[in-house]
Amino acid sequence: MTKLTPVLSAHWDEKDSFTIEGYKRHGGYTAAAKALKMEPDAIIQLVKDSGLRGRGGAGFPTGMKWGFIPQGDNKDHYLVVNADESEPGTCKDMPLLLANPHVLIEGIIIGSYAIRAKYAFIYIRGEVTHVVRRVQQAIEDAYKAGHLGKNIFGSGVDLELVLHVGAGAYICGEETALLDSLEGFRGQPRLRPPFPAIAGLYARPTVVNNVESIASVPSIINNGAEWFQAMGTEKSKGMTLYSLSGHVANPGQFEAPLGITLRELLELAGGIRKGHQLKFWTPGGSSTPLFTAEHLDTPLDYEGVSAAGSMLGTKALQIFDETTCIVRAVLRWTEFYKHESCGKCTPCREGTWWLVQILKDLESGKGTEADLDKLLDLCSNIMGRSFCALADGAASPIVSSLKYFRSEYMEHLHNGGCPLDPQASTLFEKAGV
Amino acid sequence: MTTEVVDMITVVIDGFEVSVPKGTLVIRAAEKLGIQIPRFCDHPLLDPVGACRQCLVDIEINGRPFPKPQASCTIPVEPGMIVKTQLTSPVAQKAQEGIMDFLLVNHPLDCPVCDKGGECPLQNQAMSTGRGESRFEGKKRLFDKPINISSQVLLDRERCVLCARCTRFSEQIAADPFITLNERGALQQVGIYQNQPFESYFSGNTVQICPVGALTGASYRFQARPFDLVSTPSACEHCASGCALRTDIRRGKTLRRLAGDDPEVNEEWNCDKGRWAFKYVTALDRITNPLVRDSSGELREASWPEAIAAASLGLKGKRVGVLVGGRTTVEDAYGYSKFARVTLNTNDIDFRSRVSSDEERDFIASHVVGTSTTYRDLDRADHVLLVGFEPEEESPIVFLRIMKHVRKRALKVSAIATKLSRGNEKLQAIFIAVAPGSEAEAIAKIELTAKSVILVGERACESAGTLSAVVALAGRTNAKIGWIPRRAGEPGAIATGAIGNLLPGGRPVSDPAARVDVATAWGVDSLPTSAGKNSDQIFASAKTGELDALVVGGVDPLDGALASEALLALDRAFVVSFEIRPSAVTSRADVVFPVASVTEKSGSFMNWEGRSRLFESAVEGSLQRSDVRILSMLADAIGKPITLNTVKSAAKEFATLSKWDGARASFTASNSKNISVTSDEAILTSWRRLLDDGSLQEGEVNLAGTARKSVVVISPKRASALGVVDGDNVKVSNTQGSIILPVLVENIHDDAVWLPRKSRGAHLLETLGSASGTLVKVGKA
Amino acid sequence: MAFLDKEQQVMDSIIARYPRKRSAIMPLLHFAQSVDGFVTNEAIELIAKKLELETAEVSAVSTFYTQYKRKPVGEYHVGVCTNTLCAVMGGDAIFAGLKEHLGLENDGVTADGQVSLEHIECNAACDYAPVVMANWEFYDNQTVQSAKDLVDSMRAGNPKPPTRGPNELHNWKETSAVLAGLNDGHANEGVQAGDASLLGLKISKKGAQG
């Protein structure tokens, strides 16, 4: 008996799963119709009761976020969906939107109604043309069906939904940077307070939710909080998408209750690719400290991963086997953070610039053991010192890799370069091309 | 004075308690204790941004510590807060050292060739709270350096620490977001859009607040080391805003001027004219010795006694008019005022060397002198109405103050003007377009409250009835009036009575009690009783011979309404000129006295609020030849002394006369005159731009490079009638002359045509003999 | 090239989507690229005018985001993911192979203007690594050879279709219009999901049956 619980992905195997007809075939938009007959506060309470927590990485309770929006303030409210999915390793929201954009729209209708927003936005990363097409088409079809626009579902409620396409900036996944970007500025994080719930988009009360969080709402409305709570662990309720990638036999998406372990997931994915062993992995994207084989049985829920010294993040499980050079892997991630640093604050902007240079030297065997200590010292001057969490993420792989693989760094120095063959870690090692 | 109740919060910083108003940022509470937390992006007048992270400190609130150090520039104090700075927290100290380490990664460390060296916050704080030596051994990012982002500001991106002070200033304070952050990450850099230079009237402030040597002023670059300069607090002589300045001098020469810190007036800002227009003082053609016209008609250098004797001979017992000019200090103006009455026995004195009117003179006597409208009134205003006044062009710090409230609390601004200006666009002003001459009608329709302020410019006098309508509006609504002339000396000249209907302290000439008051103070039997001639009448009388002689201060005869008449008058009359450089007056004068410039004398200006702006001589060993001292010598020679041998004595004596409890002059309303226009005609309208061909800006080529381009502005309707589009040349002409400039189609009253009053290629008074309110022809050139 | 009236009308309709004008700056920049292929000065000036901004404010935004190009790119813009996971699994080899094959460096464009090459960061398709994007369409599970074949097909004017995308690869300008939020009518083409996306679902169904 498998532990998998496909809810969001339940009908992805149907050819027209992304169309409004395909969605409605399985009860699509009935949750919205139902919700619009409820009191908005009752919806917020239901989502609170369900225990749904943000699926974008931080795990903040979704219902509580909605509850922060001041009511009766005579201000415009906004719901903004964060579809900027860019954290290295993270690849759940894009296939979700490709296969079923309507579930997000339905969630938006419910969420907007709950927080009394008449305008909602989907901020989607710009490098996914076909996903943009699917979402755009779905929005247009939802308008035609009377699910968006004026007097939706004949309820008297109005809702405008705009798809806003990004243009290549990882930092826009940070919610306040996303809001600045959506307002037409450079996507740099804002000072908090004020928090978006008080002064978000256009300085109005705003909820920013991840795609998967909002997409989970229709099922909660239809099935109830208890149904959702029945899945998962004590403080991490419900099902979620785990994305396995890298050196596994069969990478892919696995929708399972929170708390499943990598050992269980690896079994489903056919294990590490044949003839190889697990070396290290990320539990939730590159910003979450690395795990090794010793963490195979760590429950992949918010508390379990955190107790083991990392973060659940986006549940992006990137699996690397013994052919992978840790220094190369870490250098690449560091280069990513350098490229994506917004430039606003000193430690992130200058720190990532510096870290890359040291790591490059180390990869090519230049430097001394003192450079490893310098790396750690620089990381300690970056972590918790920068404006937002991006730079914390940059330091994570470095610090955790030095914790588990310091000797491999040293080997580079003794060896005068990388002791491993990069060709061996490619998927086409044998074919050569 | 009203006392406002402020909630105070007590916090502990490094073991010391301090009480500060609620909302105070931790970094500023620490300053109150004398604890300097290092910082770069923080600036008290800019919104907090928390970008540089240099000011990290440890904080706990009611026993709960923050898990990580906090940026003290973004966190307001809270009750129960305990702060540990670098002085008491090893964590904060390490955090700060770490940030400094990062800041030096990409900084070129070219201090030995950097203008900022010696006064550089990065250099200073690296030494005081940094590690001393950089641990970075890698490659620094490289940029071309420096690049001109305007003709007066250079940008060295390698030195920049990306604190965003300059970009925030430009956006938040000046509302000129011409410089922005570009690119991102370590390649993030300050820059302009390539086709739009940093041509903001306030750009120099960014140079001043740059905490490194990234932004430098073209005119100061490579000129000096800060430790070679002698700094003197000073007051700006350019306009009536009244900025506090700092003048930096080396070996008797001004090398730069900076905005001074006066929270009640200019806060910490000034305009580029005030900052960068000072070379006129050291111009090569400065007059250094008295000049006397000899029997052959040539002006030649003379000794002081000879010049005094010649002037005395020409003035004694003659009918003399006194033209003071709008740029004198309070003390000098007082000297002219007393000299006219006591020595020359006349009220024929006027400081207004510009277009003026008798309606204005009455308005000044009844509604300007002795009243007090201030910046504070703008801070509290519910609505600011602008009449004949373009604050950004004519009093830039007033503009900044209004802008501040527009941004922070959406202050309502309305502008009655002939043309919508960029400044008023930035203020989001409600633009009430009027044809020149129709201002009064528009004013009559305005609703204000007792908390409103009407800011009236000197140009309001150019349309008859406008000031009368302002008086009626203020009377009807109890709104306050603030009259703001362009020139720095005018408010002081009014207060000292350098005008024909007023004696010092705003005493009406027509009031016998006032005359007795002043006569007693001056130790004379009586004072002339009837109101004197205005400046136009003085010139006209000198031209016809009704006046024999003129005493002329810093006056450009071409700034008045009767430019050509004025020159004829100067040719005919015996002229005693007080000047610093050759001018149209000195070339026609019989005696020229070389006077001190502002840097060479002490004294004071009075700004538009009536606030005294004292300054000391910035040049060491200056002879301090203030006009008043020379006037006093001359009065002695004539035999009717004014006994004002020093600036101090003038200041002291004026102080005893500066208040008057008696009745103010009354005001008689005037009617407006509408002007009718035929299809190929337009009514001329204009104003002076901040940066133009003004005499105090001569020689400042870098500054001039950022002046707004000269254009003729017409309405879309007129443009389509003429068949012209932006950039086409049009000709504006009357019987006296014509001007051809590119056209700009903008929001202007259909009946009007606007030109800059005295910019390159557009000297209206010289060429057209008029600057406003007269009919001109407008055609395709 | 000046923006035509009808193009300006599209720009106005983009602005009208938003409660506040300035929000339209990003779609307008995408749209500008659909007209000119990259962000021209003229586009910056026009957008500034339409949004009542200073030109510096628009250029500041345009330089922040990597998808806005300041010089022409190829008809087909190829991005090879070289973030850690893709790099390790073959992305580095693919990028090196394409550079050599096309004779280009990073950000280069072939002389015929058909192909430009860029290494990109994680594109949210890690379960299909190594990933190549062309005009931001997915080309999953690439090898050095398949990537070379792909760019060859582009240079031949007959590009291979994306793995998860429309039936054919659309050119850069057409793509930019989609990113500006203009529906090109191809949403219903292509697979609803790739195999990796369906893996868990299939196992679950199999488990339920067994």
The residue range of the domain holding A306 is: 237-319
Q: Closest by alpha carbon to B738, among B708, B758, B761? A: B761
Chain segment B482-513, per-residue pLDDT in tens: 999 999 999 999 999 999 999 999 999 999 99
Shared domain check, A111 and A156 = yes
> Is residue A429 situated within a structural domain?
no
Check whether A2 has a pLDDT greater than 70.
Answer: no
Looking at residue B732, its pLDDT comes to 98
Chain segment B215-242, per-residue pLDDT in tens: 999 999 999 999 999 999 999 999 999 9
Cβ-defined contact of C55 to B191 (cutoff 8 Å): no
Chain segment A63-77, per-residue pLDDT in tens: 999 999 999 999 999
> Is residue A5 situated within a structural domain?
no
Type and span of the H or E element at A48: helix A40-50
> Which of C22, C190, C192 lies at the smallest CB-CB distance from A14?
C192
Chain B residues whose CB is inside 8 A of the C58 CB are 193
Q: Which of A266, A298, A319 is the last residue of a domain?
A: A319
> Is residue A213 situated within a structural domain?
yes
> Is residue A114 situated within a structural domain?
yes
Check whether A429 has a pLDDT greater than 80.
Answer: no
Nearest residue of A to residue C144, measured between CA atoms:
A433
Chain B residues whose CB is inside 8 A of the A184 CB are none
Shared domain check, A329 and A307 = no
Q: Which of A319, A344, A359 is the last residue of a domain?
A: A319
d(C-alpha B568, C-alpha B630), whole Å: 26
Looking at residue A263, its pLDDT comes to 97
Type and span of the H or E element at A372: helix A369-382
Check whether A114 has a pLDDT greater than 90.
Answer: yes
What are the Cα distances from residue B423, in Å, to A116, A270, B391, C206? 39, 69, 7, 72
Q: How many angstroms separate the most distant Cα atoms in chain B?
A: 91
d(C-alpha B73, C-alpha C152), whole Å: 56
Question: Can you give the CATH number for the domain in which A289 is found?
Answer: 3.10.20.600
Cβ-defined contact of B181 to C60 (cutoff 8 Å): yes
Three-state DSSP at B483 gives strand
Q: Closest by alpha carbon to B194, among A8, C208, C62, A405? A: C62
Q: Give the rounded distance of the alpha carbon of B607 from its chain centre.
A: 9
d(C-alpha A379, C-alpha A395), whole Å: 5
Question: Can you give the CATH number for the domain in which A145 is found?
Answer: 3.40.50.11540
Which residues have CB under 8 Å from B527's CB, separation 6+? B341, B503, B509, B515, B518, B519
Shared domain check, A267 and A173 = no
Chain C residues whose CB is inside 8 A of the A338 CB are none
* CB neighbour class for A294 (10 Å; exposed up to 12, middle 13-18, buried from 19): exposed
Query: H helices within A68-174, ranges in order?
Result: 93-99, 101-115, 129-144
Number of separate domains in chain A? 3
- Whether chain B has a CB inside 8 Å of the CB on A343: the answer is yes
| Amino acid letter, B340 | A
- Whether chain A has a CB inside 8 Å of the CB on C152: the answer is no
Shared domain check, A315 and A369 = no
- Whether chain A has a CB inside 8 Å of the CB on C126: the answer is yes
Shared domain check, A243 and A220 = no
> Is residue A255 situated within a structural domain?
yes
Give partners of C (≥3 CB pairs < 8 A).
A, B
Q: Which of A301, A319, A337 is the last residue of a domain?
A: A319
Looking at residue C210, its pLDDT comes to 52
Tokens 């045509």 label which residue?
B753
Shared domain check, A403 and A297 = no
Shared domain check, A125 and A37 = yes
Cβ-defined contact of C193 to A12 (cutoff 8 Å): yes
Burial state string for B399-413 with b = 16 or more CB within 10 A and e = fewer than 16: bbbbbbbbbeeebbb
Question: Can you give the CATH number for the domain in which A391 is found?
Answer: 1.20.1440.230
> Is residue A6 situated within a structural domain?
no
Are the CB atoms for B86 and B129 separated by under 8 Å?
yes
Shared domain check, A27 and A148 = yes
Cα within 13 Å of Cα(B78), Cβ side:
11
Cβ-defined contact of A185 to C61 (cutoff 8 Å): yes
Does the predicted interface ipTM exceed a cut of 0.90? yes
Three-state DSSP at B776 gives strand
Shared domain check, A112 and A81 = yes
Nearest residue of A to residue C196, measured between CA atoms:
A252
Looking at residue B401, its pLDDT comes to 98
Shared domain check, A213 and A123 = yes
Shared domain check, A282 and A331 = no
- Whether chain C has a CB inside 8 Å of the CB on A136: the answer is yes
Type and span of the H or E element at B712: strand B712-714
Looking at residue B4, its pLDDT comes to 66
Cβ-defined contact of C60 to B178 (cutoff 8 Å): no
Nearest residue of A to residue B55, measured between CA atoms:
A385
Looking at residue A433, its pLDDT comes to 45
Q: List C residues 16-35 in contact with A (Cβ-Cβ < 8 A).
A: 17-27, 29-30
pTM score, whole prediction: 0.96
- Whether chain A has a CB inside 8 Å of the CB on C80: the answer is no
Chain C residues whose C-beta sits inside 8 Å of any chain B C-beta: 41, 44-45, 53-60, 63-64
Shared domain check, A193 and A101 = yes
> Is residue A373 situated within a structural domain?
yes
Tokens 């290092």 label which residue?
B38
> Is residue A3 situated within a structural domain?
no
Cβ-defined contact of A170 to C198 (cutoff 8 Å): no
Burial state string for A191-213 with b = 16 or more CB within 10 A and e = fewer than 16: eeeeebbbbbbbebbbbbbbbbb
d(C-alpha A389, C-alpha B602), whole Å: 57
Residues in chain B predicted with pLDDT less than 50, given as ranges, are: 1
Looking at residue B557, its pLDDT comes to 87
Q: Give the rounded distance of the alpha carbon of B718 from its chain centre.
A: 34
